[in-house]
Amino acid sequence: MDTTLKPIDQPDTGRRSFIWKAGAAVSAVLATALPAMAMPAFKKDKGLKSEVDRLNSRLGTLEDEKSIHALHHTCEALLDRGAYEELVEMFSNDGEVIFNQGVYKGKETGITRLFCGLFRSGMTGKRMSPAPGFETVCASVEDHVQVSSDRMSAKGCFLYSMQIGIPLDSDSVLVQMARLQGGGVMRLWEGGTCHISCVKDKADGSWKIKRLEYQALAQADYRHGKSDAKPVSASLFTKRYPEDPVGPDKIAGPVQV
């Protein structure tokens, strides 16, 4: 018996490589040719093209609606943790905010004054559960978003339930001592709806808030852990900026809700 080891035949790598390359080339040709062959038929079928355009538009609108919901969620999170500078960056340069019937205009001026001045001094914006007895105040309101037909602007309405802080307007010794310890602020619960108008940045497609309006439906003297709450009404603005260092640029009339 011949026990000599015989060399094992090696696969023909050159031939296999040629087959792979040839197959890839054929696939590429077919991938290019088939859409080109189908395109004339697609263009001729106006009904099909119209349906595809409609579906693409609807998909884009749904993506925009999702972006607006995400934008609002981000704003709530920034308010809750007191990241007021970051919140200001969510607005367009010519944006405005209506709060407590005061109108704050301009990202770098009024809006910064509102959030980094007034809101920060009272820790306004922190999330709070509805005060006892006020759970049904906003029960009939549902969050919704509407995107314009050209998808360059959008409007939304969202519920809010948050703490508002009103610095005590007094020069008494007790209030001054409270301020030194981070107090001197009357904190209330407020619930209502916020209405936002957004614009899309043409450069990068991101959304910015152009207008934000808080419409309070109820306010109450309430703290976490308490079992009851008393309805109250926070004082409206009576002075504008600069007479009031954190006041609005304009005082608006009552909001109809």
Residue 218 is part of a domain; what is its CATH number? 3.10.450.50
In a domain, 36, yes or no: no
Q: What share of the chain is helix, strand, coil (3-state, %, to 5)?
A: 40, 25, 35
Non-local CB neighbours of 43 within 8 Å, separated by 6+ positions: 49
In a domain, 32, yes or no: no
In a domain, 25, yes or no: no
At 15 the pLDDT is: 46
pLDDT band at residue 239, thresholds of 50, 70 and 90?
Answer: very high
Q: Mean pLDDT check: name the lowest of 94-98, 176-180, 233-237.
A: 176-180
Domain count, the chain: 1
Q: Is it the case that residue 124 has pLDDT exceeding 80?
A: yes
Instruction: Enter the tokens of residue 3.
Output: 């026990």
Q: Is it the case that residue 36 has pLDDT exceeding 90?
A: no
Q: Mean pLDDT check: name the lowest of 9-18, 117-126, 184-193.
A: 9-18
In a domain, 206, yes or no: yes
In a domain, 257, yes or no: no
In a domain, 213, yes or no: yes
Of 95, 64, 82, 63, the C-alpha closest to 208 is 95
Is this prediction's pTM over 0.95? no
In a domain, 7, yes or no: no
Q: At what angle do helices 13-44 and 46-80 cross, to 10 degrees?
A: 100
pLDDT band at residue 184, thresholds of 50, 70 and 90?
Answer: low
Q: Mean pLDDT check: name the lowest of 17-26, 53-62, 151-160, 188-197.
A: 17-26
Mean pLDDT of 68-78: 98
Higher pLDDT, 252 or 193: 193
Instruction: Enter the tokens of residue 97.
Output: 């905010």
Mean pLDDT of 59-88: 97
> What is the pLDDT of the chain when averaged over all its residues?
81
Higher pLDDT, 71 or 182: 71
pLDDT band at residue 115, thresholds of 50, 70 and 90?
Answer: very high
Are the beta carbons of 250 and 96 closer than 8 angstroms? no
Residue 85 pairs with which residues in a beta bridge?
Answer: none
pLDDT band at residue 50, thresholds of 50, 70 and 90?
Answer: confident
At 75 the pLDDT is: 98
**In angstroms, what CA-CA distances link 52 with 29, 58, 62?**
26, 10, 15
As a whole number of Å, the CA-based R_g of the chain is: 31
Q: Is it the case that residue 253 has pLDDT exceeding 90?
A: no
Q: Is it the case that residue 28 has pLDDT exceeding 90?
A: no
pLDDT band at residue 52, thresholds of 50, 70 and 90?
Answer: confident
Q: Is it the case that residue 153 has pLDDT exceeding 70?
A: yes
Q: Is it the case that residue 146 has pLDDT exceeding 50?
A: yes
Domain, as residue range, for 198: 48-251
Q: Is it the case that residue 70 has pLDDT exceeding 60?
A: yes
At 20 the pLDDT is: 42
In a domain, 38, yes or no: no
Return the percentage of the chain with pLDDT > 70, whole number. 73
Q: Is it the case that residue 233 has pLDDT exceeding 60?
A: yes
